[in-house]
Amino acid sequence: MPEAAAGGGWLQAGRVGRPHGLDGSFLVAEANPVLLQAVTEVNLAGAQRAIVRRAGHRQRLILGVEGCADREAARALHGARLLVPRAAAPELSDDEWWAEDLEGLRVVDGDAPVGVVRRLLALPSCEVLEVVREGGEVLLVPLVSDAVRTVDPGRGVVDVNLSFLGEA
């Protein structure tokens, strides 16, 4: 089922936010506008649904989907993930990755283990990797060249510079 399969053949393009208006439209939380512009359908709550309305702008995207015809229907979907097929996603450059491709990667500093990427966070200044260390503490690693030496999803490893992060 696609809801559980994000990261495989599916990419998360956002979540259903609060209802917008009376027609079943909703604000998209955690929106990835690039992915949402690339498709005419999304997988929502385990079903393919056509996008019937697009409004707003990149920072405040509003969608309407087939089968969601009123405010209560939109409210019932609140929090559900909007998934798009990975095959519909645009090509990325060599130094870009989908968040799903980074989740679960081992994080090292050279040969020393650091932790595991839990998720990618979009902060106002930059995107950061949320890394869970062995004791459960969290390390935030900004996705900047001084902090991240290499990212290799194929090998399942992110090499970071702990000295730059004030950790060594």
Question: Over the stretch 56-85, which tens digit does the pLDDT of each residue have?
Answer: 988 899 999 999 999 999 999 999 999 999
Parallel, antiparallel, or unpaired: how do β-strands 60-65 and 81-85 relate? Answer: unpaired
Determine the pLDDT at residue 14. Answer: 94
Per DSSP, helices labelled H in the chain are 33-37, 71-76, 99-102
CATH code 2.30.30.240 region(s) in the chain: 99-160
Mean pLDDT, the chain, whole residue set: 90
Looking at the predicted structure, is the pLDDT value of residue 163 above 90?
yes
- Locate 46 and state its tokens: 């385990």
Question: Smallest Cα–Cα separation from 118: which of 154, 152, 158, 65?
Answer: 158
Check: CB of residue 114 under 8 Å from CB of residue 131: yes
| pTM, to two decimals | 0.74
- What class is the 2-88 domain? mainly beta
Picking from 112, 101, 111, 113, the residue whose alpha carbon sits closest to that of residue 143 is 101
What is the structure's pLDDT at 2? 44
Question: Which CATH number among 1.20.1280.290, 3.40.50.10860, 3.50.50.60, 2.30.30.240 corresponds to the domain 99-160?
Answer: 2.30.30.240
